[in-house]
Amino acid sequence: MTANMKFTSNSFNIEGTVPFDNDALPNESEIKIWNLSDTTLNNIKKGEVLMLNAGYKGDVSLLLHGYISKVSTTWEGVDKITTINVLDSEDLSKREVKEIAFAKNTLASAIIKQMAGYIGLPVAQMELNQDYRYQEGYTAKGPVTEIISKVAQDCGTSVYINKNKLYVRNLRRGGDSVFKVDTTTGMIESPGRFEDGLTKGFNIKMQLQHRVTTASVIDLTCRMFTGRLHVRSGTHTFSRTGDFTTEVEAIL
């Protein structure tokens, strides 16, 4: 849905990918729609809000809420294919502060709240592992998302943007939805184990589950592992005739 227009897969050939992760930079999704009229195309513009719902009949919900960053149209034979790129928040790369000096003994939480105000995103969750105290003060300078990330890192805490909201929190702690994933609940293929520095986990592919996102909890049962994992990143993929999947990187 965008610019008071609604497109459904019953009426249009639509496919796309919607990524999510645990860093402070907005993710960019890609949606393709076939054979739109020129009049319709003129109303799909950069900067417009776009919302995408996905799921199965009787269980459909919001997958993406963001801003159009680019629109392009190409031809393949008789088909006209429009590609719409969507950031899951406004483009924050140019939101910078020249220099702000915080007093001695300022807490990290105060800095994060002030910086979040500059990027204009609502803070959906903020739970710091440690609210670090800057005994010598702190100078904030440069891109706001980088400042938030660095301060959160000093607190040993993840920060990320999801569905146009800011989250500052531990991926492994919180009241997130728990999803049982096994061969009877939509798991596709055997999960692959990975080890990334001190972090271990599994790459899991399942039928599309719109509720699964960053910090979701996975109770995985497969041939090589049974236990609880926490989603660090992933991608929803959908098309009219092909993939309708969610792939995640989930950590122990």
pLDDT at 193: 94
pLDDT for the residue numbered 175: 62
Let me know if domain 96-169 sits in CATH 3.55.50.30.
yes
75 neighbors 95 (Cβ within 8 angstroms): no
Q: Which pLDDT belongs to residue 173?
A: 75
pLDDT at 174: 61
Residue stretches of the chain with pLDDT short of 70:
93-94, 174-175
Q: What are 35-57's pLDDT values in tens digits? A: 999 999 999 999 999 999 998 88
| pTM (2 d.p.) | 0.87
| Beta-bridge mates of residue 226 | 221
For the CA atoms of 153, 159, 188, 239, the dihedral, rounded to the nearest 10 degrees, stands at -140
CB atoms within 10 A of CB 58: 5
